[in-house]
Structure 1
Amino acid sequence: MDIAFVSNVVFPFVKGGAEKRIHEIGTRLAAAGHDVTVYGRHFWDGPQVTDHEGVTLYGVAPSRDLYADERRSITEALEFSARLLPDLRRNVERHDVVVASLFPYFPVLASKLMTLLTDTPLITTWHEVWLDYWDEYLGRLAPFGKAVERLTAKAPHYPIAVSSVTADRLAELGPSRDAIAVVPNGIDVDQIETTDPARDGFDVLYAGRLIEDKHVDLLLEAFDRVAETAPDVTLGIIGDGPERDRLERQVRSLEHADRVTMLGFLEEYTDVLAHMRAADVFASPSTREGFGITFAEAMAADCTVIAADHPESAAAEVIGDAGFLASPTADDIARLLERTLEGERPATDPARRAERFDWDTVTEQAERRYRRAINREW
């Protein structure tokens, strides 16, 4: 197969979940003998078109900041889409399939415009579907965001969602639920299992963005209660985001503030894995997760996972009975923290559950779906 991925950000020059998925799947497909091209911004040094780990990187636009006032820049997405058009138009016919990553939406629409001129099928990969979350994210401009999301969902294409929760939400926008394939995000199980535990690790760990939907404030409140009767227990918080200042103030107000450490954003992924390997419990009461990659990583690190039970989170789908679900309240989180710190383990071994999300397995699923799209057998 000749496979083209479209993503304005390119791993490892920009590090995020969507671009890492393309990198992990793309490099494995290239190693298996497929031709793989990634159309993205020119974040790397050197020529516009270059080879990276067997994958052709095609810079259709210069590097640029992706955010404006902590929100993804609309003008960046529009500019990238406009610059994508001529390069993709010249090359689209040589590709067997084009795989465009959401979010943002405009490059997907640009890709669709180009594939309309050929028989090349378009696959979209949906990591999240926002629906009413646009009201919170864009305020008075929310109708614009909703309209573009709906237009993208209704454009003829082959949709892949990273979880059933995301697929169900996408189906609300138009595509038949039966037409939406689910191919999860992945992890490198071997890398996680062979990472040495951090020497300065914590009993309880959180890793992720510090945003309101993650509800780290509830975890802090719950931990402070548990620390009352567990004198040696410690909590580490890895991550950064708009809630960081507020959460640091909350930590200072805790009775057991000396046992909570805010580590901020860790540049090296292996440092995050090392802390997971050292922790007994990984807790993240997030109520909005299109997939929840940290749950899979923590299970592979043999942590007991505590996640939130919420209809907008795929946590239950990811952890199954290899972890525990709490209602997003400090009381319920504290209850489960107490039980897990006392040694209670889930019914299924977390490390074994994590194996289903290994990148090799995920790539096999993606490859089958790409072939089905090419053969019009979706």
Structure 2
Amino acid sequence: MEGRLRIAMIGTRGVPARYGGFETAVEEIGARLVEAGHEVRVYCRSGGERMREYRGMRLVHLPAVRHKVLETLSHTALSVGHLLGRRTDVALVFNAANSPLLPLVRAARIPVATHVDGLEWKRAKWNGTGRRYYLVAERLAVRWSDEIIADARGIQDYYRERYKTASVMIPYGAPVQEAVDEEVLRAAGYEPGRYHLVVARFEPENHVDLIVEGYTRSAATYPLVVVGSAPYAAEYTRGIERLAEADPRVTLTGGIWDQRLLDALYAGAATYLHGHSVGGTNPSLLRAMGAGAPVVAYDVNFNREVLGETGEFFADAASLAKAVEDAEADPARGRARGDAARERARTEYTWDDVAARYEALCRDLLAKR
């Protein structure tokens, strides 16, 4: 084994992963870096549970301002302050919004790579000021990072075209399920293969409202199960709730934190309906593919890149309605598409490969510095 690295992972809610793609990536990558012999420190936002170690990673819990604009940056500022007093070989910063703090990391002569996520400025939750901030933050990430990490070719293309800069493309990984846990599904009241599934935060760019609207226009007989919520989108959530209240076939479950049940829901779905439109490689989409779910996704380049030939796509309520009706009319075709998606996830999106690429990046950063 080459030399042991001290790696800091900054800018997320931390681990165990309970929220989104960044947190899942930190957990899966960080644990594998530990297994490879490295020391990994993960900065976590203070909550009810404060473990000092998880899957071999050392956890540092620090507070954050609970506000959609200030939460990420306030926590990262405290994390960077802590980082500067600790011996660190490489820092991995997640989210371009944290880029104003990068000069402090560089001043300490710590090589830093920034995982820029998707096109955050396009998210509807940001007003004009928020969008302008994210566009400035992108430019600063390019200027002050030793390396930019993109999780999709579409994100690489965006940074190349807009900022004339190269980036390292490292996607997320996909957990693979070979079978449906029918016992868990039935105990929760779901019939395997006889429901449509959405798992998403309730934000406009995830098109949950469009999916629910399209489903309510359809003649589908299988129920629609919608898993998710949003901390800062009360008005948008109320719109989805109104659509659901008008159709008894629609069930809003809120967030589901029982991973065994959530895995079973992915694996047992007649279709997984994916509306995300501004991210790169989306972890929920990969989880559905790894579970063998037939995916019907919103028609954008990121989703086409990940799904390849295994996906079907919708652009409006009418095409979504047709997709769920077609899936119920020909379940064998759906199962074949799901099997193909699982195989694509198994070969193209593995966490072991992702972690190995992060390890190589960290070594390259340290060598250049």
Residue 184 in structure 1 maps to residue 171 in structure 2: yes
- Correspondence for 1:149 among 138, 141, 148: 138
Shift of the alpha carbon at 1:159? Answer: 0.7
- List aligned pairs for 1:308-347, cutoff 5 A: 308-311=298-301, 314-326=302-314, 328-341=315-328, 342-343=330-331, 344-345=333-334
Shift of the alpha carbon at 1:349? Answer: 0.8
Shift of the alpha carbon at 1:18? Answer: 0.9
Task: For residue 171 of structure 1, give the secondary structure of its aligned residue in structure 2.
Answer: helix
Residue 73 in structure 1 maps to residue 69 in structure 2: yes
The change in CA–CA distance for 1:223 and 1:142 in structure 2 (over 3 A counts) is: closer
Correspondence for 2:116: 126
Residue 376 in structure 1 maps to residue 368 in structure 2: yes
C-alpha distance in structure 2 between counterparts of 1:209 and 1:85, whole Å: 28
1:278-323 alpha-carbon deviations (Å, 9 max, x no partner): 2111112333232222211111111110001124xx1111111112
C-alpha distance in structure 1 between counterparts of 2:37 and 2:107, whole Å: 27
Correspondence for 1:303: 293
Correspondence for 2:181: 196
Runs of 4+ in 1 over 6 A off after TM superposition: none
Residue 289 in structure 1 maps to residue 273 in structure 2: no
- Kept in 1, the 8 Å contact 2:291–2:342? The answer is yes
Shift of the alpha carbon at 1:175? Answer: 4.9
- Kept in 1, the 8 Å contact 2:141–2:148? The answer is no
Task: For residue 36 of structure 1, give the secondary structure of its aligned residue in structure 2.
Answer: strand
Correspondence for 1:54: 56
- Kept in 2, the 8 Å contact 1:7–1:19? The answer is no
Residue 223 in structure 1 maps to residue 215 in structure 2: yes
Normalised TM-score (structure 2): 0.84
The change in CA–CA distance for 1:329 and 1:100 in structure 2 (over 3 A counts) is: same
The change in CA–CA distance for 1:320 and 1:167 in structure 2 (over 3 A counts) is: same
Q: AA paired with 1:152? A: A
C-alpha distance in structure 1 between counterparts of 2:228 and 2:296, whole Å: 18
C-alpha distance in structure 1 between counterparts of 2:133 and 2:96, whole Å: 15
- Correspondence for 2:342 among 338, 346, 351: 351
Shift of the alpha carbon at 1:20? Answer: 2.2
C-alpha distance in structure 2 between counterparts of 1:36 and 1:51, whole Å: 10
1:18-58 alpha-carbon deviations (Å, 9 max, x no partner): 122111111111012111112344447669xx332211223
The change in CA–CA distance for 1:272 and 1:110 in structure 2 (over 3 A counts) is: same
The CA RMSD measured in Å over matched residues stands at: 2.7
Shift of the alpha carbon at 1:270? Answer: 2.6
Shift of the alpha carbon at 1:65? Answer: 5.0
Correspondence for 1:11: 15
Correspondence for 1:97: 90
Correspondence for 1:20: 24
C-alpha distance in structure 2 between counterparts of 1:195 and 1:371, whole Å: 40
The change in CA–CA distance for 1:13 and 1:262 in structure 2 (over 3 A counts) is: closer
Shift of the alpha carbon at 1:250? Answer: 1.4
Correspondence for 2:228: 239
Shift of the alpha carbon at 1:139? Answer: 2.7
- Give structure 1 stretches of 5+ with no counterpart: none
Q: AA paired with 1:160? A: I
Shift of the alpha carbon at 1:269? Answer: 2.7
Normalised TM-score (structure 1): 0.82
- Give structure 2 stretches of 5+ with no counterpart: none
Greater RCO between the two (CA within 8 Å, min separation 6)? 2
- Kept in 2, the 8 Å contact 1:129–1:170? The answer is no
The change in CA–CA distance for 1:114 and 1:224 in structure 2 (over 3 A counts) is: closer
Between the aligned residues of both structures, percent identity stands at: 25
1:207-252 alpha-carbon deviations (Å, 9 max, x no partner): 111222222233223323432xx5x322111111332221121123
- Kept in 1, the 8 Å contact 2:44–2:59? The answer is yes
C-alpha distance in structure 2 between counterparts of 1:85 and 1:235, whole Å: 43
Shift of the alpha carbon at 1:340? Answer: 2.5
Aligned residues: 349
C-alpha distance in structure 2 between counterparts of 1:90 and 1:285, whole Å: 42
- Kept in 2, the 8 Å contact 1:183–1:362? The answer is yes
- Kept in 1, the 8 Å contact 2:6–2:39? The answer is yes
- Kept in 2, the 8 Å contact 1:236–1:263? The answer is yes
The change in CA–CA distance for 1:205 and 1:121 in structure 2 (over 3 A counts) is: same
1:165-216 alpha-carbon deviations (Å, 9 max, x no partner): 222233355251xx21111122322xx4466141133421111112222222
C-alpha distance in structure 1 between counterparts of 2:90 and 2:164, whole Å: 20
1:77-117 alpha-carbon deviations (Å, 9 max, x no partner): 454344334432222xx432111111532xx4424423234
Q: AA paired with 1:90? A: G
